[in-house]
Amino acid sequence: MRNVSSKSRCLRLMAVVALLVPVSASAAWASSTGVKPGIYAAVTSQGSAFTFKVVTHCAKNPATRCLYSGTYPSVAAPCPNGQTGGGLLNYPQGTISKSGKLSVTEGTIAAGTYVKITLKITGNRFTGTLRALYPEQPGQALPACDTGTVSFSGHRDS
């Protein structure tokens, strides 16, 4: 029979606890919020499909979840001159709250260059909105082409 000192047993126990704590904290965060990392597939109210990723360990904090773009939705943006602009919308990325919510805005409506995304994840399902404005003519702020509020929804794929 092997003689193991209490100091050796204590060190082994501390090593096991140190390995389990980050996993437990991350699992507890995910189960308390329902926000799981993975690929999420969405369809907009304009019928365009896109994906985004929810990743862990972002913002230098292992307990956070962040949204990163996967593919981009194609959105129509009617312009004041009667033409319809639009195309692939490069939406902003950000940190998802513990309640599963995200709201990120870049630019301002007054400047005519604006993009906003909102998101609410519950379990494997989610809903959100997108809106973008961009100049009708290059080099001028207003008038702006405006997608209006485009809703989207979907589910976690993997």
Using one digit for the tens of pLDDT, what is the confidence trace for 6-44?
433 333 333 333 333 334 344 443 444 568 999 999 999
Question: How far apart are alpha carbons 30 and 33 in whole angstroms?
Answer: 5
pTM exceeding 0.85: no
For residue 112, the model assigns a pLDDT of 85
Q: What share of residues in the chain are helix, strand, coil (percent, to 5)?
A: 20, 45, 35
Residues 99-127 have a mean pLDDT of: 93
Please, what sign has the CA dihedral across residues 56, 59, 63, 64? negative
* pLDDT band of 59, cuts 50, 70, 90: low
Q: What single DSSP character describes residue 14? A: H
Structure token pair of residue 81: 């001159």
For 37, residues 6+ apart whose C-beta sits below 8 A from its C-beta are: 30, 53, 54, 55, 56, 65
For 48, residues 6+ apart whose C-beta sits below 8 A from its C-beta are: 73, 74, 75
